[in-house]
Structure 1
């Protein structure tokens, strides 16, 4: 290439650059087609409870379909979380997940396995719900109080069965925290999500489960289940008579099931801004508020900056809990 040809080629570069759409232009166009919201659990659990009304509200705000995609592949939600982490960071694959997001990579490391994803791959968008976990048993169970449950478990180590959403999922970690503090041994029966675990307790396959208030309220009202204790720091409005574990002397037993929306870390900032605005609107939607309150899980909204700090703090606490629990087969 001679000097004249080089100058002509160089002069054309700004024109070529200008022809490419900027990230702001991309955000103005977003979304142009259907958005997928991955829920890494079966329908009926806390993440699904959060996702469905939010997805419907986002459709109204963004003008495009938002499809809830339940990835009920087990592994405590790891499979769905990993799928969202690997997705293109274009705003068309979102993740509505639970606090176990931080636990599962640490569990992989406990077993010397490569983590299938890392929390650092995600950008927190908004927290939607945040409920303390409740210890629930069938209404037909012999235990009327937490003290009776613990006393029986001490007499029969490993015989009382509890269901979970999978190894090191939210329900598993909560129960093992309690068992370690109480000095009891329970039998862990993992399922592919919170809903199958609840079904197992209703059919008598397991004897106990840790679950969120929103998924238990109707079952308790219908006389099918009974609750014995609350993993929160305080009693909650939907179960005002239910004592906390701390009230019963278990000072180190505290656990919350929060649900939040995440995108990929590399999501263009203009799209993230639009998504945050849409989420701020969606949690004010009367149908969203009504759905959550009817389920006993009121909106617990946090915008991205506050939510990111919350995730960092909560994740550190949960990772420390998993390390204390150690390898649980």
Structure 2
């Protein structure tokens, strides 16, 4: 004989259990989007703390935590950004390790270094472009006045009449400022002497003190000296004018005869995961970070750095990186810059 036991629940007990299920579902819905909800996301910044890229990464992590859970920012500087980028490339493709890559790590370094431990395309999954930081062509104000240079056209005209007399500084061989100068020289058909310094700050000090005539500098770094009158801004290097200083023309707006109509160079950074990141995880990360980038709070924070939010789809970002990689391949080759 078989005995069947049956538990009879009161209507009150059933209501309490259903309510508990509802609360649990609600908490799951509001929680992190990735499968391992209790595991934090590791956001690698391949540079030292304190720079614009690091500041934006930390602000972005704070804004996205409601959708993604805890995001821990780790600074892994070294080898011009290659060390941190490589750590992300070799991580498990589960969405819990991502990197804030940049124009250096994904477009310049692959051509600049004799050997690099990762492939900038094959070893990563693009998530979203994050921001662009405009660069600006600036002259020592006294030198500009003495030489009668008030525009890009004046600069090119003077350089053509006086080949080799102008010089420009940068933060080092292969730096964004160096490559911007080489691109400018190639497109305008002029020659200027490049003087590399050990970083952006020494290069800026050399310009302010008159040791060099001009630089292609980060707009945020140069803005204080532009406002004080120590530096004369001739144009921004981006294809479009920047909202930070819309009165500044672009180099590309110069007269067509100068050959600079396609000039476009800027500092950018964006989020990547390791290769083979599942499409659904990539989509969830993209949605959360794009929402954060569109928030008024983050836009305001980035404006103080003169960084312009540039959220994109993963596909758009991937295509952009390929274009940038090809562009800088030519620029680095023409410059002759190489690092071991």
Q: TM-score when scaled to structure 1?
A: 0.74
Distance 2:292 2:261 in 1: 37
What secondary structure does 1:302 align onto?
Answer: coil
Partner of 1:255: 265
Candidates 70, 76, 81, aligned match of 2:85: 81
How far the C-alpha of 1:126 sits from its partner, in A, is 0.7
Partner of 2:249: 243
How big is each residue's C-alpha offset from its partner over 1:203-262, in whole Å with a ceiling of 9 and x where there is no partner? 666553323434444443354543212223333333333232233322343223222111
Count of residues paired in the alignment: 295
Distance 2:93 2:202 in 1: 32
Candidates 309, 317, 321, aligned match of 1:311: 321
Q: Is the 8 A contact 1:34 1:92 kept in 2?
A: yes
Q: Is the 8 A contact 1:37 1:96 kept in 2?
A: yes
Q: Over aligned residue pairs, what C-alpha RMSD do you find?
A: 3.3
Where in structure 2 are there 5+ consecutive unaligned residues? 1-31
Q: Is the 8 A contact 1:217 1:296 kept in 2?
A: no
Candidates 277, 284, 294, aligned match of 1:267: 277
Partner of 1:135: 137
What secondary structure does 1:29 align onto?
Answer: coil
Q: Is the 8 A contact 2:33 2:67 kept in 1?
A: no
Partner of 1:103: 108
How far the C-alpha of 1:99 sits from its partner, in A, is 2.1
**2:54 matched to 1:48?**
yes
86-95 or 274-283: bigger deviation: 86-95
Distance 1:99 1:309 in 2: 14
**2:118 matched to 1:117?**
yes
Q: Is the 8 A contact 2:40 2:69 kept in 1?
A: no
Partner of 2:170: 163
Distance 1:168 1:43 in 2: 22
Distance 2:291 2:245 in 1: 29
Q: Is the 8 A contact 2:41 2:69 kept in 1?
A: no
Q: How does 1:1-329 map to 2 (within 5 A)?
A: 27-30=34-37, 32-33=39-40, 35-40=42-47, 43-45=50-52, 47-69=53-75, 71=77, 73=78, 75=80, 77-100=81-104, 101-108=106-113, 113-119=114-120, 120-139=122-141, 141-142=143-144, 144-147=150-153, 149-150=155-156, 155=162, 157=164, 160-164=167-171, 166-182=172-188, 183-192=190-199, 194=200, 197-198=203-204, 201=207, 207-248=213-254, 249=258, 250-323=260-333, 325-328=334-337
Distance 1:66 1:298 in 2: 23
Where in structure 1 are there 5+ consecutive unaligned residues? 1-24
How far the C-alpha of 1:311 sits from its partner, in A, is 1.9
